[in-house]
């Protein structure tokens, strides 16, 4: 779990999660479910995304999917070996599948998704031992902030 991480790694995770959180805020301003994601390789953000399902009228336009596509385009490779995905909400089954296919090394997320989370909450696709790749999962980075942003969005929507 996250609490056993060294302080320097905590600081690094917090830095990149802050970038993902800013993208989630942008999604919220655009009336999208506020989820943001960044892909990091060797200390550099190579992919960014925030939910755009409403704007694009595309159910696959999740923050993670867009960040993964952006990162793959940046490095001109379908594999993101050695990369870390930071996302404000636990990835769903579609996004967990894409994480596995892209061979992402590590997933760091904020809030748990009790209704669709596929990295340990509802399902654990990312940790399925039958699959050929299993990323490291770190949960709870900026969890309270991420959860509050989502709660505020849905409260305002109702």
**Averaged pLDDT, 64-82:** 98
Active-site residue, 90 included: no
Per annotation, catalytic residue among 32, 64, 90, 143: 64
Beta strands in 51-94 (DSSP E): 84-89
> What pLDDT shows up at residue 10?
76
> What pLDDT shows up at residue 5?
57
CA atoms within 13 Å, Cβ hemisphere of 59: 3
> What pLDDT shows up at residue 6?
60
Block residue for tokens 């999962």: 137
Between 90 and 1, name the one with better pLDDT. 90
Contact by Cβ (8 Å): 104, 135: yes
User: How far apart, in whole angstroms, are the C-alpha atoms of residue 27 and residue 44?
Assistant: 22
In this prediction the pTM is: 0.93
**Averaged pLDDT, 92-112:** 98
């Amino acid at each position: 779990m996250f609490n056993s991480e060294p302080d320097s790694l905590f600081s690094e995770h917090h830095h990149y999660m802050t970038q993902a959180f800013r993208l989630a805020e942008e999604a919220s301003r655009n009336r999208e479910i506020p989820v943001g994601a960044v892909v990091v390789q060797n200390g550099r953000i190579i992919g960014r995304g925030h939910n755009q399902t409403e704007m694009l009228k595309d159910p696959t336009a999740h923050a993670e999917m867009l960040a993964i596509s952006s990162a793959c385009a940046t490095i001109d490779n379908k594999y993101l070996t050695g990369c870390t995905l930071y996302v404000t909400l636990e990835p769903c089954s579609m996004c967990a599948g894409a994480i596995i296919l892209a061979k992402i090394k590590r997933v760091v997320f904020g809030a748990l998704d009790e209704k669709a989370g596929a990295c340990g909450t509802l399902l654990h696709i990312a940790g399925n031992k039958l699959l050929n790749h299993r990323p490291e999962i770190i949960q709870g980075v900026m969890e309270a902030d991420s959860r509050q942003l989502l709660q505020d969005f849905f409260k305002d929507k109702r």
